[in-house]
Amino acid sequence: KIASIVVVGYLYLLQCLREKAREGGRGKERPTCWEERTEAAMESDKATRESKFKRICVFCGSSQGKKRSYQDAAVELGRELVARSIDLVYGGGSVGLMGLVSQSVYEGGRHVIGVIPKTLMPREITGETVGEVKAVADMHQRKAEMARQSDAFIALPGGYGTLEELLEVITWAQLGIHDKPVGLLNVDGYYNSLLTFIDKAVEEGFISPSARHIIVSAPTAKELVKKLEEYFPRHDSIAPKLNWEIEQLGCPPKSEISR
């Protein structure tokens, strides 16, 4: 009787091995349902994280701000760019939010391009910088070069300089010089007052309703980059993009802000 049980067990085991061989092919086991779902999720996540942007320009303060949330947002934005395989273009400083976002991207293995006027180098660069630093003559060349290098723009919290850079690229979009998306990382409602002002300008007839859609905003880096990916220009440009001469923006003849 024992011998019969052993034989039956052996035959059952042999049958199982044959079935596994047929299913998996040459001894390779077929993945379980859980493994199949995991692989599918990984492929889906990879597709979601891949970006159509090669480089994003980030405007931000040379100060860190009083709230820890501003600093955390700069680091998180850098990590989000890394996760989506996006390189960084920024103002070239190693201090403030500029230093935090550039360090975050650089440590994640992505390329960093900093563009800074020579006059500001002693003030905004302390210690060792990361990535590639391009020294230019003035602020005008800085903005033009940052725009030329980038596929989209994001503004972190900042002061006069950040606002000036932000509003200029918004104006360029309105004029038809470029059609790249512009986003506000509205950390803790930092840009609420600016958005209220813009809505008031639309209400009073100084900004067209379609031009209001040039700006997108979100409270987190992940949400904002997703919105930028989905952005499609809806405003009527003042003049066709091809009609603008690059020399008007102070760029070398071969550069293309409007690409």
Both tokens of 214, joined, read 């040039």
pLDDT value of position 243? 54
Give CA–CA dist 9/15, Å, rounded.
10
Domains of the chain, by residue range, sit at 2-47, 53-249
> For residues 158 and 258, which has the higher predicted lDDT (pLDDT)?
158
Give CA–CA dist 114/102, Å, rounded.
9
Q: Is 174 buried (19+), middle (13-18) or exposed (0-12) by CB count in 10 A?
A: middle
CA distance from start to end of the chain: 84
Of 14-28, 45-59, 231-245, the range with the highest mean pLDDT is 45-59
Q: In 103-121, which positions are buried (b, 16+ CB within 10 angstroms) versus exposed (e)?
A: bbbbebebebbbbbbeebe
Residue 126 contacts residue 143 (beta carbons within 8 Å): no
pLDDT > 90? residue 36: no
Tell me the Cα Rg of the chain: 26
Give CA–CA dist 156/166, Å, rounded.
10
Give CA–CA dist 190/244, Å, rounded.
34
pLDDT > 60? residue 241: no
The reported pTM is 0.75
Q: Please report, rounded to a whole number, the percentage of residues in the chain having pLDDT higher than 70.
A: 69
Q: Which residue has the tokens 């209400």?
A: 203
Task: Work out the widest C-alpha separation in the chain, in whole angstroms.
Answer: 98
Question: What is the tens place of the pLDDT at every residue in 225-239?
Answer: 999 999 988 766 665
Question: What is the tens place of the pLDDT at every residue in 37-54?
Answer: 445 444 445 544 677 999
Overall CATH class of domain 53-249: alpha beta
Give CA–CA dist 113/86, Å, rounded.
12
Q: In 128-147, which positions are buried (b, 16+ CB within 10 angstroms) versus exposed (e)?
A: ebbbebebbeebebbbbbbb
Question: What is the tens place of the pLDDT at every residue in 65-120?
Answer: 999 999 999 999 999 999 999 999 999 888 999 999 999 999 999 999 999 888 88
